[in-house]
C-alpha cells in the first residue's frame, strides 16, 4: 500500500528551528522523528562567567518567553548565592511579570502561531458580514488578495478540505487575529514594558530580587492593561475556542502522546511552596490521573540519537553533561528519500526519574496538575467545559490534540483572573511599609542552585554550579527539550514523536494534520 | 479620506504627523515632512520583504510584533509584502521554501536577517537542509538592500561569546570573510533585541533619500546610533550631581537616580534608547535597571560583568578619545580607556569655559582614576 516519507522543514509559526519527518502509510503516520536544526552552545560559553549575569544569558535562549527564562536564571544563580527564599515583594513583582508574559504568549499562540491551521483566511472573502468592523476587515482583505501579492498568506493549503469553518466564522477569526496583535502588545506593556523597561528582554530582575519597587503609576498601568486583556480573553478568546471546537472535534481523538505529564509549577503564592503555586508542581504517569511529587534533580539526559557522543548523556544530571564535543551528522535529504540517521537531533533526550519516562509538558500538564490538586478555578472551568462537550466526569479526554488547545485557553483565563491579585498584594505590602526588594547577595566561592518554574510552553529549569566565584557548570532544560526530545538510549520516542504516531493524514502532499498536531505543543 | 499607499486608513493630518516624526528622526527636521510624505505615497506596489532567521531567539521578531509605528497589521497587509517570515507566515516546509525561492529569483526584494551565521559548525544552523552559510551566499547578491536586525545578525551576539563554539558571525563579517566582498552593504540595526521601530525608520530613510544612510564604523545608521545612551539619558543630571543608586531597591530608586554604580553601560554604549525608547516609544531599560550595552559588538565579552561599574571612571574631567578609537576599544582592546570617552562626552560642554568640576566621587575608591588631569584636555572627540 501507499507509503510516503513526509519531511516538513521548516516547521513555521514557532520559536526556533524545527524539522519533522513522518512515515505515512495507508493514510496514517506510522513513525516520526523531530529534529531541532539550531545549536548555539549556551552551556559552553556561559562557563567561567560571572554568576550574577546568568539571567541575562538565559533570556536569550528564547525571545518569545524570556521572562520565565529570566526567572529560572536569576533564581538558579541567587539560590547558588545562598538566597533560599525570595522576599515577598520580589515574589509578587516576578508573578506580575510572569502573568504579563503568559497573557501575551498564549494570545500570540492562539491567533498568530496557530489560527492559520484552522481558519481559512481567503475563504473569509465569501462571508456576508453585517457589522461595520467585519465589513472593513473583509474589504481590507479583499484589497490585499486582489493585489496579487499574498505575502505572508501565500502558498498555504487553503484548498485543503481539512478547513471546516463556515466563511462567516473564518472572517470573524481573521478580524480577531488582527485584534489579537494589539492585545498581546497591551499584555506585554503591563509587565514587560512598564515594569521591565522593554519587551522582549526585561531589565528589572537581579540576583537577590528585583532592581526596585515599581512606581505606583506603573502598578496602576499594569492593572489597567491586564483588565483590558482579561476582557478580550473573556469576550473573544474563550468564545472563539468554543465556536471553532465543534468543527474540529475529531482532534479530541488524536495525538494522545505518551500520557506522562510534568510541570514544575508557576506563579508563587505566599508560601513559595512549589506544590502551592497557582499552577502547582507535579507528575502524572501512564495517563492515570494521580499526581506524584517531582524533583528537578531527577532530570536525566541521553545522547545516543543526538549530535554528541553516545555516552555523553547516559542518564546523567544536566549539570554533569554539557554540550562538548559535538558529533554532527548531515541531516537526511529534505525530499524524504532517506529516513533520519541514528543521530538526528541537536536536542538531547531528556527523561524523568527512575522510570526514565518521556514527559509531556505545557498547559495541558499545568491544567491537569491544577485540576487534580483541586484548585477551585481549575475544577470549575474544566468540569464546565467537559459538561459542555457531553463528557462530564471524563477529564481524561483532555489528553488529546484538542485538549492541549482547550487547556491553553483555560489556563490563560485563570491567569487573567488572578493577575490583579499579585498587584493588589504588592500594593498592600507597600502600604504597610514592607519595602524590601533585593538582598544584594555576594557571589560565594562555591554553590549550586536551580530554577524549576514553567514557561508558557511548559516545564523549564536552569541549573547553575559556582566554583571559584565563577560559573563552573550551567545547564538549561527548557520545555521543548522535553516535548521535542529525540529517541532515548533505549529507542523510546519523545513525546511529540509518539503523539504523531497513529495520526491520520488525508493527503501526504499537504500534511496539514501534522502541522496542526506539532503546533498543539507550542514549540 | 485620501488614500495613502503606505499608510492607508489614516487621515492626511495623521499621515503628515507621522511623516513629520519620521523626518525629524532621520535628520530632515520638521520641514522634511513633505519629502517623507511624497516618498511614501509614491510607492505603488508593496515592496517584497523576506526575513531570514538563523542563530537567534526570535526576540527581534517578537519586537516587530510590538511595533506601533506603524501597527503590525498595517505593515504586513498594506505596506510591505512579507513573503517569508518563519514565525508569521502561514505556509510551512516545501511551500514556505517555495515562497523564499520565488522571491529571491525575482530579484526585487529587501532582505532582513535576524540571527547569526554558523561557520565553524555549519550544521548548527540549517533551514530546509541548507546551512545559514549557503543561504547567505545565494541570497545576499540578489537583494536590493540588506538589513541585519539585532545584535546576532550584526555582530554574532550571545552565541559568538567566547569561545564562540559554533563560529557564529554577523552578516557583514561573514560576507567579508567568505564571499570576498570588501565592503558589504548591510545596514546594522543593533541591540538585543533589534528594535523594529528603528528598522522601519531606517527603511523610511532609504525610501525618502533613495540611498543607505551614513553608517558608523560598525555599520549602524549614524542618525540613530550617533550618540551615547548616556548623552541623552533622562538620569544624566543625577550622574553629574553624583546621585547614585548604591544597591538595588534602595530609597533612591524611587527618585530615579543614576544606575552607574550598579553597572550601567550607558556611558559607553552608542544607541538611541533614550530618544526612540521601546515598544511604541513607551519605556526603556533605564526605567527598570542598568544598561548592559547590547548595541555594541561583542558586548557579552566587553561589557560583562554587567553588575560591575565601567572600570576606570573616577570623576568627570577626562576627555579626548575619538569615536574611532572608542570603537576599537569596544572590539576588545582594553576596557581601561573606555572611561576617558565617557567623561569626554559627559562633561565636555561644561569644561569648555565652565567652572571647576566636582571632586572625585564614590567610584574613585573602587577604580583608580585615569591619569589625565581634570579639565586638562580641551576637546571631547565624541561630540
Pairwise CB contact (< 8 Å): B88 & A196: no
pLDDT over 70 at B181, yes or no: yes
State the pTM of this model.
0.91
Relative to beta strand B81-85, strand B48-53 is parallel
Residue B18 has pLDDT above 90, yes or no: no
- Comparing CB atoms, the residue among A11, A198, A213 nearest residue B283 is A198
Cell triple for A82: 545562598
Per the CB < 8 A criterion, the answer to whether A439 and A87 are in contact is: yes
Least confident of A348-352, B24-28, B345-349: B345-349
pLDDT band at B16 (very low <50, low <70, confident <90, very high): low
Q: Is B253 a catalytic residue?
A: yes
Vertex B81: Cα angle to B126 and B74 (nearest 5): 120
Catalytic residue among B19, B85, B154, B233: B233
With an 8 Å Cβ cutoff, are B66 and A206 in contact?
A: no
CA distances from A71 to A68, A77, A133, A469 (A): 5, 10, 40, 21
Our CA-based measurement puts residue A499 at a distance from the nearest CA of chain B, in whole angstroms, of 20
Cα distance between residue A218 and residue A99, in whole Å: 15
3-state secondary structure (DSSP) of residue A466: strand
B27: pLDDT strictly greater than 80:
no
A204 interaction partners in chain B (CB closer than 8 Å): 288-289
CB proximity under 8 Å: B 248-277 to A:
248-249, 253-254, 262, 277
Q: What is the pLDDT of residue B347?
A: 34
pLDDT for B67? 92
CA distance, residue B320 to nearest chain A CA (Å): 31
Q: Specify the pLDDT at position B349.
A: 32
Residue A374 neighbours by CB distance under 10 Å: 9
Task: Give Cα B312 distance to the centre of its chain.
Answer: 26
State the Cα–Cα distance between residues A101 and B86, nearest whole angstrom. 21
What pLDDT band is residue B359 in, cutting at 50, 70 and 90? Answer: very low
B residues 196-215 lying closer than 8 A (beta carbon) to A:
none
Q: How far apart are CA A105 and CA A456, in angstroms?
A: 7
Q: How many beta-carbon pairs below 8 A join chains A and B? A: 276
pLDDT for residue B334 is more than 70:
no
Average pLDDT along chain B:
80
Cα of first residue to Cα of last residue in chain A, in angstroms, is 33
Strands A18-25 and A28-36: antiparallel
Minimum mean pLDDT among A98-112, A135-149, A484-498, B41-55: which range?
Answer: B41-55
pLDDT tens readout for residues B70-112 = 889 999 999 899 999 999 999 999 999 999 999 999 999 999 9
| Cβ neighbours of B80 in A, within 8 Å | 151
Give me the pLDDT at residue B30, please.
Answer: 60
Q: What is the DSSP letter of B56?
A: S
- pLDDT tens for residues B222-281? 999 999 999 999 999 999 999 999 999 999 999 999 999 999 999 999 999 999 999 999
pLDDT digits (tens, 9 = 90+) for A424-442: 999 999 999 999 999 999 9
Indicate if B349 belongs to the active site: no
Query: What is the average pLDDT across B182-200?
Result: 95
| pLDDT value of residue B22 | 66
Query: Cβ contact (<8 Å) for B164 and A17?
Result: no
- Of A113, A68, A62, A192, the closest CA to residue A452 belongs to A68
pLDDT of residue A49: 98
Interface check A93 vs B, CB under 8 A: no
| Burial of A190: CB neighbours in 10 Å, binned 0-12, 13-18, 19+ | buried
Percent of chain A clearing pLDDT 90 (strictly above) = 99
pLDDT-derived band at A208 (thresholds 50, 70, 90) equals very high
Asked if pLDDT for residue A301 goes beyond 90, the answer is yes
- Dihedral sign of CA atoms A268, A274, A277, A282 in order: positive
Q: Among B19, B152, B154, B258, which one carries the catalytic annotation?
A: B152
pLDDT reading at B5 higher than 50: no
Q: With 60 as the cut, is the pLDDT of residue A1 above it?
A: no
A2: distance to nearest CA of chain B, Å? 21
pLDDT at position B45, please? Answer: 86
Taking residues A48-76, report their average pLDDT. 98
Most confidently modeled of A408-417, B64-73, B333-342?
A408-417
pLDDT tens for B49-58 read 999 999 999 9
Instruction: Respond yes or no: is residue B258 known to be catalytic.
Output: no
Touching A: B residues 50-69, CB under 8 Å: 53, 55-63, 65-66, 68
Mean of per-residue pLDDT scores for chain A: 97
What is the pLDDT, as a whole number, of residue B360?
32
Q: Which residues of A touch B193 (CB under 8 A)?
A: 63, 200-201
User: What is the structure's pLDDT at B32?
Assistant: 73
**Is the CB of B121 less than 8 angstroms away from the CB of A197?**
no
What average pLDDT does this structure show over A372-389?
94
What gap in Å lies between CA A328 and CA A330, rounded to an integer?
7
* pLDDT tens-digit readout, B142-173: 999 999 999 999 999 999 999 999 999 999 99
Contact B73/A16, CB-based, under 8 Å?
Answer: no
Return the pLDDT at B372: 32
For residue A118, pLDDT over 90 is answered with yes
Is residue A128 over pLDDT 60?
yes
A360 Cβ neighbours under 8 A, 6+ residues apart: A257, A258, A259, A260, A261, A262, A458, A482, A483, A495, A499, A521
Do the chains contact at B90 and A153, CB–CB below 8 Å? yes
What span, in angstroms and rounded, lies between the C-alpha atoms of A244 and A71? 35
A244, pLDDT greater than 60: yes
- Confidence band, pLDDT 50/70/90 cuts, at residue A10: very high
Closest CB to B90 among A116, A192, A324? A116
Beta partners for residue B112, in sequence order: B51, B147
Over pLDDT 70: what percentage of chain B?
A: 71
Residue of A20, A41, A97, A133 best to disrupt the B interface, most CBs of B under 10 A: A41
Q: What is the mean pLDDT of residues B318-325?
A: 35
Digit-coded pLDDT (tens) for A279-298 = 999 999 999 999 999 999 99
In this structure, are residues B273 and B230 in contact, taking their beta carbons and an 8 Å threshold? no
What would the pLDDT profile of B109-122 be if each residue is shown by its tens digit?
Answer: 999 999 999 999 99
Return the pLDDT at A389. 82
pLDDT of B262 reads 97
Helices B338-351 & B323-330 angle (0-180, nearest 10): 150
Residue A70 has pLDDT above 60, yes or no: yes
Tell me what the mean pLDDT of segment B333-356 comes to. 34
What mean pLDDT comes out for the span B323-347? 36
From chain B residues 94-153, the ones with a CB under 8 A of any chain A CB are 95-99, 118, 121, 123-129
Per annotation, catalytic residue among B154, B192, B238, B258 = B192
Whether A173 shows a pLDDT value over 60: the answer reads yes
Q: Does the pLDDT of residue B1 top 60, yes or no?
A: no
Residues 6+ apart with CB under 8 A from B101: none
Q: What pLDDT was estimated at residue B208?
A: 83
Amino acid at each position: 500500500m501507499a507509503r510516503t516519507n513526509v519531511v516538513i522543514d521548516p516547521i513555521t509559526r514557532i520559536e526556533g528551528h524545527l524539522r519533522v519527518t513522518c512515515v505515512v502509510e495507508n493514510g496514517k503516520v506510522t513513525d516520526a522523528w523531530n529534529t531541532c536544526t539550531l545549536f548555539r552552545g549556551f552551556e559552553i560559553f556561559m562557563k567561567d562567567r560571572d554568576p550574577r549575569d546568568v539571567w541575562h544569558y538565559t533570556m536569550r535562549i528564547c525571545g518569545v518567553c524570556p521572562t520565565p527564562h529570566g526567572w529560572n536564571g536569576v533564581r538558579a544563580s541567587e539560590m547558588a548565592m545562598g538566597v533560599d527564599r525570595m522576599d515577598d515583594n520580589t515574589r509578587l513583582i516576578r508573578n506580575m511579570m510572569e502573568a504579563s508574559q503568559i497573557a501575551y504568549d498564549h494570545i500570540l499562540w492562539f491567533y498568530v502561531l496557530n489560527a492559520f491551521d484552522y481558519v481559512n483566511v481567503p475563504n473569509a472573502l465569501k462571508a456576508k458580514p453585517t457589522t461595520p468592523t467585519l465589513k472593513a476587515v473583509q474589504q481590507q482583505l479583499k484589497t490585499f488578495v486582489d493585489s496579487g501579492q499574498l505575502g505572508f498568506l501565500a502558498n498555504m493549503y487553503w484548498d485543503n478540505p481539512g478547513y471546516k469553518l463556515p466563511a462567516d466564522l473564518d472572517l470573524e477569526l481573521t478580524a480577531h487575529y488582527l485584534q489579537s496583535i494589539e492585545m498581546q502588545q497591551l499584555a506585554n506593556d503591563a509587565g514587560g514594558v512598564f515594569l521591565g523597561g522593554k519587551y522582549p528582554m526585561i531589565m528589572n530582575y537581579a540576583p537577590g530580587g528585583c532592581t526596585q519597587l515599581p512606581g505606583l503609576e506603573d502598578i496602576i498601568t499594569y492593572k489597567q492593561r491586564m483588565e483590558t486583556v482579561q476582557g478580550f480573553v473573556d469576550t473573544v478568546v474563550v468564545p472563539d475556542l468554543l465556536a471553532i471546537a465543534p468543527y474540529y472535534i475529531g482532534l479530541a481523538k488524536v495525538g494522545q502522546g505518551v500520557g506522562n505529564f510534568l510541570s514544575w509549577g508557576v506563579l508563587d503564592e505566599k508560601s513559595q511552596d512549589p506544590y502551592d503555586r497557582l499552577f502547582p508542581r507535579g507528575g502524572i504517569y501512564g495517563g492515570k490521573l494521580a499526581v506524584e511529587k517531582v524533583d528537578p534533580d531527577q532530570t536525566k539526559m541521553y545522547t545516543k540519537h543526538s549530535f554528541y557522543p553516545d555516552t555523553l548523556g547516559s542518564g546523567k544530571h544536566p549539570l554533569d553533561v554539557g554540550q562538548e564535543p559535538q558529533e554532527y551528522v548531515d541531516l537526511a535529504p529534505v525530499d524524504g528519500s532517506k529516513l533520519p540517521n541514528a543521530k538526528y537531533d541537536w536536542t538531547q533526550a531528556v527523561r524523568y526519574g527512575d522510570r526514565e519516562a518521556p514527559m509531556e509538558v505545557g498547559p495541558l500538564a499545568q491544567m491537569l496538575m491544577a485540576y487534580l490538586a483541586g484548585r477551585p478555578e481549575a475544577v470549575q472551568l474544566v468540569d464546565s467545559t467537559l459538561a459542555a462537550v457531553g463528557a462530564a466526569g471524563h477529564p481524561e479526554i483532555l489528553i488529546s490534540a484538542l485538549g492541549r488547545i482547550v487547556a491553553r485557553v483555560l489556563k490563560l483565563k485563570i491567569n487573567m483572573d488572578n493577575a490583579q491579585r499579585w498587584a493588589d498584594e504588592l500594593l498592600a505590602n507597600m502600604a504597610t511599609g514592607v519595602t524590601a526588594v533585593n538582598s544584594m547577595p555576594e557571589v560565594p566561592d562555591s554553590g549550586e542552585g536551580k530554577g524549576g518554574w514553567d514557561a508558557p510552553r511548559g516545564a523549564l529549569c536552569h541549573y547553575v554550579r559556582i566554583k571559584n566565584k565563577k560559573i563552573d557548570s550551567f545547564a538549561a532544560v527548557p520545555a521543548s527539550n522535553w516535548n521535542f526530545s529525540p529517541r532515548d538510549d533505549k529507542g523510546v520516542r519523545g513525546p511529540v514523536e509518539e503523539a504523531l504516531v497513529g495520526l491520520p493524514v488525508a493527503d501526504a502532499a499537504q500534511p496539514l494534520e501534522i502541522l496542526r498536531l506539532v503546533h498543539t505543543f507550542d514549540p | 479620506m485620501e488614500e495613502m499607499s503606505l499608510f492607508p486608513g489614516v487621515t492626511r493630518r495623521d499621515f503628515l504627523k507621522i511623516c513629520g516624526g519620521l523626518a525629524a528622526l532621520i535628520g530632515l527636521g520638521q520641514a522634511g515632512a513633505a519629502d517623507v510624505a511624497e516618498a511614501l505615497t509614491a510607492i505603488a506596489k508593496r515592496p517584497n520583504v523576506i526575513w531570514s532567521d538563523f542563530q537567534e531567539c526570535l526576540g527581534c521578531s517578537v519586537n516587530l510584533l510590538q511595533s506601533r509605528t506603524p501597527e503590525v497589521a498595517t505593515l504586513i497587509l498594506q505596506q510591505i509584502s512579507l513573503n517569508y517570515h518563519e514565525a508569521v507566515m502561514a505556509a510551512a516546509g516545501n511551500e514556505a521554501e517555495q515562497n523564499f525561492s520565488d522571491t529571491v529569483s525575482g530579484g526585487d526584494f529587501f532582505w532582513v536577517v535576524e540571527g547569526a551565521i554558523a561557520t565553524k559548525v555549519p550544521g548548527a544552523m540549517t533551514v530546509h537542509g541548507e546551512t545559514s552559510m549557503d543561504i547567505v551566499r545565494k541570497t545576499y547578491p540578489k537583494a536590493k538592500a540588506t538589513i541585519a536586525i539585532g545584535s546576532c545578525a550584526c555582530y554574532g551576539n550571545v552565541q559568538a561569546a567566547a569561545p564562540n563554539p559554533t563560529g557564529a558571525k554577523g552578516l557583514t563579517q561573514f560576507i567579508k570573510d567568505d564571499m570576498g566582498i570588501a565592503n558589504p552593504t548591510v545596514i546594522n540595526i543593533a541591540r538585543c533585541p533589534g528594535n523594529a521601530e528603528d528598522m522601519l525608520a531606517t527603511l523610511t530613510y532609504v525610501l525618502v533619500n533613495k540611498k543607505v544612510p551614513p553608517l558608523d564604523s560598525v555599520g549602524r545608521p549614524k542618525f540613530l546610533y550617533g550618540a551615547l545612551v548616556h548623552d541623552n539619558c533622562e538620569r544624566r543630571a543625577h550622574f553629574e550631581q553624583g546621585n547614585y543608586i548604591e544597591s538595588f531597591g534602595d530609597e533612591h530608586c524611587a527618585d530615579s537616580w543614576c544606575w552607574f554604580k550598579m553597572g550601567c553601560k550607558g556611558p559607553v554604549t552608542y544607541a538611541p534608547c533614550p530618544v526612540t525608547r521601546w515598544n511604541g516609544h513607551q519605556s526603556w531599560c533605564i526605567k527598570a535597571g542598568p544598561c548592559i550595552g547590547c548595541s555594541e559588538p561583542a558586548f557579552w565579552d566587553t561589557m560583562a560583568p554587567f553588575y560591575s561599574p565601567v572600570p576606570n571612571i573616577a570623576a568627570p574631567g577626562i576627555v579626548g578619545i575619538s569615536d574611532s578609537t572608542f570603537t576599537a576599544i569596544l572590539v576588545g582592546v582594553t576596557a581601561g580607556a573606555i572611561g576617558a570617552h565617557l567623561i569626554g562626552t559627559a562633561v565636555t560642554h561644561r569644561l569648555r569655559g565652565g567652572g571647576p568640576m566636582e571632586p572625585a566621587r564614590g567610584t574613585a575608591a573602587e577604580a583608580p582614576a585615569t591619569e589625565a588631569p581634570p579639565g586638562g584636555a580641551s576637546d571631547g572627540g565624541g561630540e
